[in-house]
Structure 1
């Protein structure tokens, strides 16, 4: 007995409807998008003679070496104890606790030295504390 062979139909994906839908979506978003044009006022500022006043802000800087030794505003401290650091900060800042405080530590500084500096500055009431970093590969 001879069975008739069935024809194998070729599988086709018609991309025309897909392209039509994409174009319709594109047109829809182009029409529905609103482009805002901000109005700008032209203002002619008055002129004045004189020089701008530049006020230098005093900053306390704690420098910590790779061995954990402290230096406050360029003056090295005699030891690495927290009370010595506290005394140095109190002498330089006086009663001004709003003065910015910057901690600059070497990358190989022991973690405890940085935590001690942060703890002492927090106990003294400094609220503007920042730590110096650098971008990768900036050396």
Structure 2
């Protein structure tokens, strides 16, 4: 099939595709994905609580509470913030900062079942030196023997 040329030899118009709106849509999508993305917090300690056959569940309280987690490797986490140093002074400073000097707040100690005994005693020692009197130690309920 043979196509005829236009009479008069008029030059063809150049086709121009406006990409501005396409770029705007891509930036909006990129912004959407950045805002909706959730990031994991690898700084949290994962602990397996020891078992106990007796105990009472904690009472619900509107008062601010402190929580100290002791990992299996002896690292401390105070109210979700991992401490860089695992020594008594760092733990005491973190507890003082989180409690804002109020030692009447309830303090919950949670330690992994494989935590070295010394690390848990250090956490209790820090609480005692700062004057915390309302201590709780968390465990999981023991499974019934078969």
Tell me the TM-score normalised to structure 1 length.
0.58
Work out which of the residue numbers 114, 132, 143 in structure 2 matches 1:137: 143
Count residues with an aligned counterpart: 85
What residue number does 1:8 align with? none
Deviating runs (4+, > 6 A) in structure 1?
A: none
Instruction: Give unpaired runs (5+ residues) of structure 1.
Output: 1-53
Instruction: Report the Cα distance in structure 1 between the residues aligned to 2:101 and 2:118, rounded to whole angstroms.
Output: 27
Instruction: Report the Cα distance in structure 1 between the residues aligned to 2:123 and 2:91, rounded to whole angstroms.
Output: 8
What residue number does 2:86 align with? 80
Query: What are the Cα deviations for residues 39-93 of structure 1, in whole angstroms up to 9, with x where unaligned?
Result: xxxxxxxxxxxxxxx9622110000110000000000000111100000000011
After TM superposition, give the deviation of residue 114 of structure 1 in Å: 0.3
Instruction: Report the Cα distance in structure 2 between the residues aligned to 1:56 and 1:70, rounded to whole angstroms.
Output: 25
Instruction: Give unpaired runs (5+ residues) of structure 2.
Output: 1-59
What residue number does 1:110 align with? 116
What residue number does 2:67 align with? 61
**SS at 1:104 equivalent:** strand
After TM superposition, give the deviation of residue 102 of structure 1 in Å: 0.4
CA RMSD of aligned residues (A): 1.6
Which structure is richer in relative contact order (CA contacts within 8 A, separation 6 or more)?
2
1:78–1:57 distance in 2 versus 1, CA, 3 Å: same
Query: What are the Cα deviations for residues 6-39 of structure 1, in whole angstroms up to 9, with x where unaligned?
Result: xxxxxxxxxxxxxxxxxxxxxxxxxxxxxxxxxx
For the pair shown, the structure with the greater C-alpha radius of gyration is 1
Instruction: Report the Cα distance in structure 2 between the residues aligned to 1:67 and 1:129, rounded to whole angstroms.
Output: 22
